[in-house]
Amino acid sequence: EVQLVESGGGLVQPGGSLRLSCAASGFTFSNYAMSWVRQAPGKGLEWVSSISGGADNTFYADSVKGRFTVSRDNSKNILYLQTNSLRADDTALYYCAKGWKSYSFDYWGQGTLVTVSS
Amino acid sequence: QSVLTQPPSVSGAPGQRVTISCTGSTSNIGAGFDVHWYQKLPGTAPKVLIYGNTNRPSGVPDRFSGSKSGTSASLAITGLQAEDEADYYCQSYDSRLSASVFGGGTKLTVL
């Protein structure tokens, strides 16, 4: 059974940083691209970032480019999202999802909440 | 403003049929990229309902169907049930943005 479990969210001041993690199990992690998708309170889904299975290709939404960095540790089956220079409009539930680009996101975690506020 | 446009809300009585549209452009749906549909219930993670325009994952009832034509796609739900009340999102890929893109979401109300 595929499982994705996010962690690392919390309350952070504007300009601060957080590292989100997503522990994966139930599939050969290194064979699949992974993504982060977020949902701000009362808003829709927004793709944030994707990374290829071998970590040699990364992609970012314009809204986070230069501030967020996606990475993965295939030896530990963990996906990361380093979030820097956080702003109030980054407040959202952050989901990790299996898939990328034109493919569907076929499995999702339950999300980790990031709140940016002073 | 979402790259893919969905109606904010639709509604129908139990047993009826409803459709949700997803309108894109020549850089996403019209470029031939697949459209996928997700159901999001409050407090739960999104669940894929339709992938690759028309395909249902195992476990998704055949009351749910997808179609695609030109720069648009649609999700149809027949035999509406109270449990179908949720938010629905379409998703595709945009070659101009080099980004996965979602519609703004449609809230389905079962009357």
Nearest to A109 among B45, B99, B105 (CB): B45
Using a 10 angstrom Cβ sphere, with 0-12 exposed, 13-18 middle and 19 or more buried, the burial of residue A92 is buried
Q: What percent of chain B has pLDDT over 90?
A: 96
Which of B2, B107, B87, B17 lies closest to B45 in space, CA to CA? Answer: B87
Give chain A positions within 8 Å (CB) of B105: 44-45
How many CB atoms neighbour CB A88 within 10 A?
Answer: 11
Does residue B1 have a pLDDT over 90?
Answer: no
Closest CA in chain A for residue B48: A106
Residues of chain A with pLDDT under 70: none
Nearest to A108 among B2, B36, B46 (CB): B46
| B72-98 pLDDT, tens digit each | 999 999 999 999 999 999 999 999 999
Mean pLDDT, chain B, integer = 96
Residue A69 carries which side chain, given as an amino acid letter?
T
What is the DSSP secondary structure assignment for residue A50, as one 8-state letter? E
Contact A95 B46 (CB under 8 A): yes
What pLDDT sits at residue A99? 87
Cα dihedral across residues A57, B31, B87, B81: positive or negative: negative
What pLDDT sits at residue A102? 87
What pLDDT sits at residue B87? 97
Chain B: which residues have CB within 8 Å of chain A?
2, 33-34, 36, 38, 40, 44-48, 51-52, 57, 87, 89, 91-93, 97-105
Residue A40 carries which side chain, given as an amino acid letter?
A
Q: Tell me the two tokens of residue B89.
A: 């999102």
Nearest to A46 among B45, B47, B102 (CB): B102
What pLDDT sits at residue B75? 98
Nearest to A47 among B57, B102, B105 (CB): B102
Task: Write b or e for each residue in B74-99: b if 16 or more Cβ atoms lie within 10 A of its Cβ, otherwise e.
Answer: bbebeebeeebebbbbbbbbbeeeeb
Q: How far, in Å, CA of A104 to CA of B37, rounded?
A: 8
Contact A44 B99 (CB under 8 A): no
| B27-41 pLDDT, tens digit each | 999 999 999 999 999
- Chain B: give the shortest CA distance to residue A73, in Å: 23
| DSSP string over B15-56 | T--EEEEEE--TTTGGGT---EEEEE-TTS--EEEEBTTTBP
Q: How far, in Å, CA of A79 to CA of A23, rounded?
A: 7
